[in-house]
Structure 1
């Protein structure tokens, strides 16, 4: 075992394993590299962890010295947004439209009254009602730049009304997993060298562990902490799980999920306990998993209609 800064490195069978903490989650990177390529493996792991930490630092709502804080320090004013943030906001806008307003980056304000700590403390309706006027993507003024000749956008302009907030938590980990994988693929001598990024259960990979040998990953059990209900095999693309195994409230025998309907301000009802989705990227998988739970009792039919591989636990 070797520790380089905040990254701990080791070999797991025929693969290099690096672990670190980010976004309030245990994270790991697996590289299908032999021990003879230890310097390359360590270099890649450190670069990938640094990219995850960069994204966390930029968009964390718990810091006062970052891009997120800057966006919120000028309410009511038109602000220039960089290309990366513009892509994330465009993605969030598309998700808002696709979900009929149920996936909303402005709904994080509801955390002020909802604390999902396993207790039976429900907020008063009056407290919820006070926040609802400050929630709704349609209340933002978001204008993206036109695409350049390469099809890329260079940024955009955002006006955030007084009292409103953005919360990138619903897409941050999944985006970081895809970005970390991209960092590895820029450096690896061969694109078919297997890489798996796991950020607290949100995964991205480019190739199997070895030819014909997929990666084996576990989906957290709903009943027993640190155990798996499902063991899935993945070879490429993204895998994300959304559920309430850890964040919920329980009152009078009724369980309240942490997934909130931004229109009513109350938890979505009759949704499965856990949904896992495989998609071409982790950010796509995470979005579909969240959208499915937001459908409540219609989660299964929604997932079937997507045509994506999925697994549901109750």
Structure 2
């Protein structure tokens, strides 16, 4: 069993779905992936609103159970505890790992789902406990997507390596839940998991307020179809001798990315797409805005405590 793994029990309260009405708008609230989640649907009756909200919550909880690294009874735990043995994958996981491979290649290795082992040295709890260089260096042999072996429908990790899908899991869950809910109704729909969201509207646009890290970003965004995803270090960082160490680690060095923005929000057509671009921008450090301009997307960047830069 991989060190540090434990089953995280899910309480009845965490699996509770609350449905509220505000005029023509229905809002289903629940908790998943350690985030407040909601499903908004307009212009339907209560029965359909509840069915839609329940489908969104069920999909979020399913994906959390299957891919959370905090459990020792799911597929990720089996992969990480494989002890250099081949582990059989289902089709959904193959697609998700193919996407992770694409992220790794697009980022020249800066986005790497094997880098979770670095948390053994780094504890981003707002303290000043920066690890010693030798602690970080000792973990680098366990990091590297190119060290992972994959064959058709199977995967094998080197001893001590781990997969951590946290960098793509929530955005994937948003898109998947939205697709499932969209099959139940043609009504206006918005799915929001902890600020990462996707929506569509045929009647009136959705109005979404965006939060930065130190203070709210300027204005609100109105749109009928699209997705938003934010990456940042508002709550996970270290502060020592006036230097802020972001939780955004470069897996090639094991150390935080230098001069990274405090937060990046990207607007795209899918949440997975927006999430990938926001994360890749953070990994670019001071060149984040250059990368996003080159991608031709709408974005908001917050540097330190300054007002957000939009583009």
Matching of residues 1-314 of structure 1 within 5 Å: 6-34=16-44, 37-143=45-151, 145=152, 156-188=153-185, 190=186, 193-205=187-199, 207-208=200-201, 211=203, 213-224=204-215, 229-314=218-303
Asked if the contact 1:20–1:27 (Cα under 8 Å) also holds between the matched residues in 2, the reply is: yes
TM-score, normalising length: structure 1:
0.89
* Displacement of 1:23: 0.4
Asked if the contact 2:212–2:263 (Cα under 8 Å) also holds between the matched residues in 1, the reply is: no
* Displacement of 1:13: 3.6
* Displacement of 1:230: 4.3
Task: Please give the alpha-carbon distance, in whole angstroms, between the structure 2 residues aligned to 1:4 and 1:284.
Answer: 28
- In structure 1, the residue matched to 2:9 is none
SS of equivalent to 1:172: helix
Asked if the contact 1:221–1:229 (Cα under 8 Å) also holds between the matched residues in 2, the reply is: no
Which segment drifts farther, 70-79 or 156-165?
70-79
Which segment drifts farther, 65-74 or 115-124?
65-74
* Displacement of 1:31: 0.5
SS of equivalent to 1:277: strand
Deviations 1:124-150 (A, max 9, x none): 11110110000000000123x4xxxxx
TM-score, normalising length: structure 2:
0.90
Task: Please give the alpha-carbon distance, in whole angstroms, between the structure 2 residues aligned to 1:4 and 1:15.
Answer: 23
SS of equivalent to 1:222: coil
Q: How much is the aligned-residue C-alpha RMSD, in angstroms?
A: 1.6
Task: Please give the alpha-carbon distance, in whole angstroms, between the structure 1 residues aligned to 2:14 and 2:229.
Answer: 28
